[in-house]
Amino acid sequence: MDLRDSFRNATRAIFAAKMRSFLTMLGIIIGIAAVVMLMAVGNGTKQSILSRMQSSGSGNLYLTAGARSNVLMGGGGFGGGNRGGASAGAKITAEDLTYVEARVTYPIVVSPTNQTNITIKNGDTTMSGTGIFATPTYFEVENVTIANGRMISTSDIDNRTRNVVIGATVQTTLFPNESAVGQPIRINGASYKVVGVATAKGESMGSSVDTAIVLPFSVGEKSFGVVHNVIQRTTIKCVDPTQSLAVTTEITDILTRKHKKVDFSIQDVAAMTALVTSSMTILTTLLAAIGGLSLLVGGIGIMNIMLVSVTERTREIGIRKALGARERDILVQFLIESSLLSIAGGILGIAISVLGSDFIVSRFTTTSVTGSSILLAVGFSIAVGVFFGVYPARTAARMKPVDALRYE
């Protein structure tokens, strides 16, 4: 019997009992939809966490004062520098950075920053934001680009000029109708001049440049009470991101020698990324396994219906055998039928999960339906159809023709 005949027979049998076929497929539809959607939630969450981590630049290291036991402890992020397990009196100074830069053998870019909460005012409009005291390297290291105007320059630092770069949200909030570049702005009551506007970037590592104002590093100590010669957080960019581990080790050695103890910590975004990736992969696998359970139940449903179908069609099996059908022919006939049921269920399940995750689940959380999860779902539904179809099909194939023909 050729395969085309077999497929025609199978579809005929499936359509002959539409309601039953649909209910049988429903188990697979729900199972596949559950697998694909749960994986979409897992993958989506992973991707959104990773993209937030990576928008600050891969290969970045964060140097802060105070030893930490774990890379993920303390949460990182701006302003987190003195939180957590910072040991008393531990600090990173400008000399430390000069010392490190002079000795590191890998190419790096160092961006020291301090940060404080500020009130920003233009005319009658006021907003609160973050003041970031930084050097020109800040823009390169944190991937901050300028939409309008210019960056903080070296001469701004040297001369303690009151020139600032404002974030995109600050521009739209305080200067809704005009470009802020060249305009005066009041920060904590004092007057500054806007020289540039940063491109909107969204949140990164727990903070956003959009609601911040970048001021020359040297201005902080004079006007905002930032402790003299203490750097809250230093971002170190490895020019070659693959060297981040080696750079971490080297800087740790250099600073430990200088401080005679480990009273600082270096967070490696790449290492954190790897950790998040692996834990999110475990989560996604777990979610897929939960979905897989419902697929298993769906598979048992297929087996159950196929067994009923075999019993109901005993006489048909007898007739086919009387006309010369071999065991293999009957086996293939029922296997194709169960596989078609589960493949059709799988395809419907994928359609439902794609629609569902795009239009419903995505309102609550980030989702991402990946090609691999669809392939997995299709493969799994074929496997379910074959696996749970084998037993009923073999039951049918092994019937003795005389018994099958006599069946009423």
Partner 1 sequence: MNLIEFSDIRKVYTIGSITIDALAGVSFEIGEHEFVAIMGPSGSGKSTLMHILGCLDTPTSGAYRLEGRDVSQLRSNDLASIRNRDIGFVFQSYNLLPQLSALENVLLPCTYSTHAISGRDERARAHELMERVGLKDRMYNRPVEMSGGEQQRVAIARALMMNPPVILADEPTGNLNSKGAREILNIMKELHTDGKTIIYVTHDDTIGAQAERVIRIQDGRVVADERN
Judged by the rule CB under 8 A, the positions of this chain that interact with partner 1 are 1-2, 5, 12-13, 16, 315-316, 318-329, 400-402, 405
Tell me how far, at minimum, the Cβ of 363 lies from partner 1, in Å: 46
Separation between Cα atoms, residue 244 and residue 97, nearest integer Å: 17
Tell me how far, at minimum, the Cβ of 8 lies from partner 1, in Å: 10
- Reading phi first (left if > 0) and then psi (alpha if -120 to 50, else beta), residue 182 is in left
Separation between Cα atoms, residue 78 and residue 129, nearest integer Å: 13
Nearer to partner 1, 12 or 150 (CB): 12
Q: Which residue blocks in 122-167 are alpha helix, DSSP H?
A: 137-141, 154-159
Place of tokens 């979905």: 291
Nearer to partner 1, 53 or 404 (CB): 404
Tell me how far, at minimum, the Cβ of 22 lies from partner 1, in Å: 18
> What tokens does 360 get?
């419903």
Q: What are phi and psi of 146, to 5 degrees?
A: -100, 125
Q: What are phi and psi of 240, to 5 degrees?
A: -105, 105
Separation between Cα atoms, residue 24 and residue 218, nearest integer Å: 72
> What tokens does 291 get?
């979905």
Tell me how far, at minimum, the Cβ of 393 lies from partner 1, in Å: 16
Nearer to partner 1, 257 or 406 (CB): 406
User: What is the rounded radius of gyration, in angstroms, for the C-alpha atoms of the chain?
Assistant: 33
Nearer to partner 1, 15 or 359 (CB): 15
Tell me how far, at minimum, the Cβ of 405 lies from partner 1, in Å: 7
Are 162 and 219 in contact, with CB atoms under 8 Å apart? Answer: yes
Tell me how far, at minimum, the Cβ of 398 lies from partner 1, in Å: 9
Name residue 264's amino acid. F
Which run of H or of E encompasses 37? helix 18-54
Nearer to partner 1, 1 or 354 (CB): 1
Separation between Cα atoms, residue 352 and residue 25, nearest integer Å: 13
Nearer to partner 1, 19 or 323 (CB): 323
Nearer to partner 1, 162 or 321 (CB): 321
Tell me how far, at minimum, the Cβ of 46 lies from partner 1, in Å: 49
